[in-house]
Structure 1
């Protein structure tokens, strides 16, 4: 082929290639992957950032890393590997979403109005509102979790509640050694308390005047009606009796205790927590109230309903210049564990600091053999008879310390001064009213009530409890200095007591 011809052919081939390249367009590049849920994840991240900046976080339930739309408590954490089958998994995950929605609602309500308005203005469709946008995103992200086996497995792994003990503090405080004198101190307190409970009721000293605080005088449901409500509430794939709303209030009213307080000063009057214009939260004794909530105990393969009552006092006044336990605000927490038939099986009590955990079994609860250890396991200052219907439990409370001194079934003579307390849902403490229509939680984002720190924290820190003695939010009550124990642990009761839930009594035993 001639040289000129060859050059012409090469030119034609080059021109054709250029033409084809121009027609084909730029080189192919894969389109970037678009996360269909990025919008919702960004919304939760934005809300969380504002909540953290304004210091209005709620610590009752634990946030789940990697799942900003879900939170977990110790009950649901105990089901994380046991919830099997599509219905159970969906119900379990749905309750996680509900925990987040409830806490998030309180957090947003407690935001300063400008911060809340700014969040609402950032919603792509302002007319829908922030609450509606969050609800839609809750549903969207939850559906994605349930549809993805990998994501669901990751959720099971992450749905845990860390305990309220600091291992670092225990290491720094030489816990294996320092726990020994602490355990000895606990035993001394238990012996002294047992001596008080051993006194005849009429022999208990009175430093001021005995004042009754009784629940509202309303018609009470029968045990049969209570059993029906509990049974209906437990008709879910996990068998958890989630009694809520008015049904919970009715059950709480049926088992609410009578408080008989030795009133030696204003700090011994129960009241309603409130925020003054300045300073820490206070308790208003002019509005006596007891706050109730539901909790749950896992016993074998069943889940039992528990009713929890909290009474608040203005303070624990000092008994001397070096009273490490004195401080602002104090309280008493009383819990009733119910059988499915509505009869109390066992009672227990703490203070809102998590301190002074006492158990009061009935004949349907038999203590299990305690492990051989110096750990705080179970202190039973008094056993109780079966509670007749509609008999109320009466709590005798000491002045100043607000220690329990006795539990009995019949109130003292009616000649003692008395008053009625209001029965309020514990959740109202997450949104206490402020002037100008705003609100603020009683609890800080760390779960503590600000201003209730005790001097004991400088001495007791080696036991690993953060801020010992301070008042705490539900879900944050570590109840043992020696050992590890949490008031809301769903297995707490079952580990320490054998319960009869079929209505019979255990035979008499010398283990009591």
Structure 2
């Protein structure tokens, strides 16, 4: 039987796809730690400190790849200017609890921000914009063991789940792979195997150059962290983002507090996503970074699915409903 002819992809479409995605789903392995830059929060005797992830960045010589600290200043015209200082790293944290039919769970929330996702044409980054961020949620069971890692950009984009071996197979979505998974063109572990006490390990999150996409995740024995080039990293409550100090002695919020952008990160405008996606996603502000509220009554809709009919069910503020929508049975 003759082979079926391959369908030809128009050259223009091929070029467009290469520009937009700019990377392929190649298998990613943890980098050799010696000399690798990692933002590692200090070790303290708290639950949030014990399970805080370390952020490993590609090409740290580029300022926009560095975990930064949101700051507020007065611009040349006297108007408020919110930016992310790349020379000072802060991880913003919070503990949240939720209940499901399977019991009571604890979410440890870790939020970081970067100066920007750069523009340019080659490569073409769809998410070009300022003050972009990433959230890592570590879900603990009633025994305090990490069962699920959830990562998402602060726009609600590029959602990824990685369970651990502490989570029963029955709690995973039907057909969940056992080795690797492809998530938005990135190759991630399908399961992280934690042997022995989880306290002996640190979750490592490798971030891709420029886009800050999660490229890989693994756990590293804490005694091996000395092999990384450790960048001093502060820790602050998530609520501190709503009280950024200004020189006048007053404070201001990292998020807009009124008007049509209420709840969105100040200075976060995604012109490319608006042009190419808003008309079919039915969201004029698609891709803009925002606050992750504690409930449906706090902040704005933090949807994680582009399907207009799935906005409410994929809202991360309601974590039990969010998990059920994505097939998890905790």
Normalised by the length of structure 1, the TM-score is: 0.48
Match of 1:267 in 2: 64
Task: Please report how far the alpha carbon of residue 441 of structure 1 lies from its aligned counterpart in structure 2 after TM superposition.
Answer: 0.5
Task: Please give the root-mean-square deviation of Cα atoms over the aligned residues, in Å.
Answer: 2.7
- Structure showing the higher helix proportion among its residues: 1
Rounded Cα–Cα distance in structure 1 between residues aligned with 2:119 and 2:232: 28
Rounded Cα–Cα distance in structure 1 between residues aligned with 2:108 and 2:227: 30
Match of 2:173 in 1: 368
Task: Please report how far the alpha carbon of residue 217 of structure 1 lies from its aligned counterpart in structure 2 after TM superposition.
Answer: 3.1
Rounded Cα–Cα distance in structure 2 between residues aligned with 1:389 and 1:486: 29
Alignment of 1:479 with 2:300, yes or no, is no
**SS of the residue aligned with 1:435?**
coil
Alignment of 1:440 with 2:247, yes or no, is no
Structure number with bigger Rg: 1
**SS of the residue aligned with 1:488?**
coil
Task: Please report how far the alpha carbon of residue 203 of structure 1 lies from its aligned counterpart in structure 2 after TM superposition.
Answer: 8.8
Rounded Cα–Cα distance in structure 1 between residues aligned with 2:247 and 2:28: 48
**SS of the residue aligned with 1:392?**
strand
Task: Please report how far the alpha carbon of residue 297 of structure 1 lies from its aligned counterpart in structure 2 after TM superposition.
Answer: 3.8
Rounded Cα–Cα distance in structure 2 between residues aligned with 1:428 and 1:355: 23
**SS of the residue aligned with 1:467?**
coil
Task: Please report how far the alpha carbon of residue 301 of structure 1 lies from its aligned counterpart in structure 2 after TM superposition.
Answer: 5.5
**For residues 319 and 386 of structure 1, do their structure 2 counterparts lie closer, same or farther at Cα, with a shift above 3 Å needed?**
farther
Task: Please report how far the alpha carbon of residue 486 of structure 1 lies from its aligned counterpart in structure 2 after TM superposition.
Answer: 1.4
Q: Which moved more, 1:408-417 or 1:465-474?
A: 408-417
Alignment of 1:450 with 2:266, yes or no, is yes
Task: Please report how far the alpha carbon of residue 285 of structure 1 lies from its aligned counterpart in structure 2 after TM superposition.
Answer: 2.4
Match of 1:216 in 2: 42
Contact 1:397 1:405 in 2 (8 A): yes
Task: Please report how far the alpha carbon of residue 323 of structure 1 lies from its aligned counterpart in structure 2 after TM superposition.
Answer: 3.7
Deviation digits for residues 315-351 of structure 1, max 9, x if unmatched? Answer: 1112427543211112211001110110011111001
**SS of the residue aligned with 2:64?**
helix
Alignment of 1:201 with 2:6, yes or no, is no
- Structure showing the higher strand proportion among its residues: 2
Contact 1:365 1:497 in 2 (8 A): no
Task: Please report how far the alpha carbon of residue 296 of structure 1 lies from its aligned counterpart in structure 2 after TM superposition.
Answer: 3.4
Contact 1:297 1:304 in 2 (8 A): yes
Rounded Cα–Cα distance in structure 2 between residues aligned with 1:381 and 1:217: 26
Match of 1:493 in 2: 323
Match of 1:460 among 277, 283, 289: 277
Match of 1:302 among 103, 117, 123: 103
Contact 1:273 1:281 in 2 (8 A): yes
Match of 2:6 in 1: none
Alignment of 1:421 with 2:250, yes or no, is no
Task: Please report how far the alpha carbon of residue 288 of structure 1 lies from its aligned counterpart in structure 2 after TM superposition.
Answer: 1.0
Rounded Cα–Cα distance in structure 2 between residues aligned with 1:348 and 1:296: 15
**For residues 307 and 202 of structure 1, do their structure 2 counterparts lie closer, same or farther at Cα, with a shift above 3 Å needed?**
closer
Deviation digits for residues 390-443 of structure 1, max 9, x if unmatched? Answer: 111111111111111111111677454222311110001111111221111000
**SS of the residue aligned with 1:212?**
strand
Gaps of 5+ in 2: 1-16, 176-182, 294-299
Task: Please report how far the alpha carbon of residue 283 of structure 1 lies from its aligned counterpart in structure 2 after TM superposition.
Answer: 1.1
Contact 1:465 1:478 in 2 (8 A): no
Contact 1:304 1:340 in 2 (8 A): yes
Contact 1:297 1:493 in 2 (8 A): no
Aligned length: 268
Task: Please report how far the alpha carbon of residue 251 of structure 1 lies from its aligned counterpart in structure 2 after TM superposition.
Answer: 1.4
Match of 1:64 in 2: none
Task: Please report how far the alpha carbon of residue 264 of structure 1 lies from its aligned counterpart in structure 2 after TM superposition.
Answer: 4.1
Match of 1:253 in 2: 49
Task: Please report how far the alpha carbon of residue 201 of structure 1 lies from its aligned counterpart in structure 2 after TM superposition.
Answer: 2.6
Normalised by the length of structure 2, the TM-score is: 0.73
Match of 2:159 in 1: 357
Task: Please report how far the alpha carbon of residue 468 of structure 1 lies from its aligned counterpart in structure 2 after TM superposition.
Answer: 1.2
Gaps of 5+ in 1: 1-184, 221-249, 371-377, 500-512
**For residues 403 and 324 of structure 1, do their structure 2 counterparts lie closer, same or farther at Cα, with a shift above 3 Å needed?**
closer
